[in-house]
Amino acid sequence: MPREKILLPDTNTILRYLLKDIPDHFKKANDIFELVRLGERQAIILESVVLESVYVLTKFYKVPKDDTSTEIRHILNYKGIRNPDRNDLIEALEIFSSENLDLADCILIAKARSGAMELFTFDEGMIKISKKYAAR
């Protein structure tokens, strides 16, 4: 029996799942994400999709940063999520919820902190926040 392919949800799928605003789309997304939550299907949520989802939720739908961060972190913790950078994205979302930075900057900070990479920026505020999180 052929193995099921890994799912690549797009931003719209995540929005419909979280917002529950289009009933038939929500049902389909919910059915799939429930399988991912249980580990019965595998998915990778690309960094670009996380960024776009956060942007649309906070800017267009006016969902508070903390709520947005919590909901997307929750999805990233589903058993079937296979992102190799899952921990970096979760940490970036945690930073995003508590700091005055956009998510792209938070991802840079999280990725620099987690490995053998060094943040290179001229943004003094970002450097200060990066040092704050490097000490953890």
Q: What are 31-90's pLDDT values in tens digits?
A: 999 999 999 999 999 999 999 999 999 999 999 999 999 999 999 999 999 999 999 999
pLDDT at position 73 is 98
**84-128 confidence digits (pLDDT tens):** 999 999 999 999 999 999 999 999 999 998 777 889 999 999 999
Whether residue 115 lies inside any domain: the answer is yes
Whether residue 6 lies inside any domain: the answer is no
Distance CA(52)–CA(55), nearest Å, equals 5
Whether residue 4 lies inside any domain: the answer is no
Distance CA(105)–CA(22), nearest Å, equals 32
Whether residue 76 lies inside any domain: the answer is yes
Residue 103 belongs to what domain range? 11-134
Whether residue 17 lies inside any domain: the answer is yes
Residues 4 and 41 sit within 8 Å (Cβ to Cβ): yes
The model's pTM is 0.92
Q: Number of folded domains in the chain?
A: 1
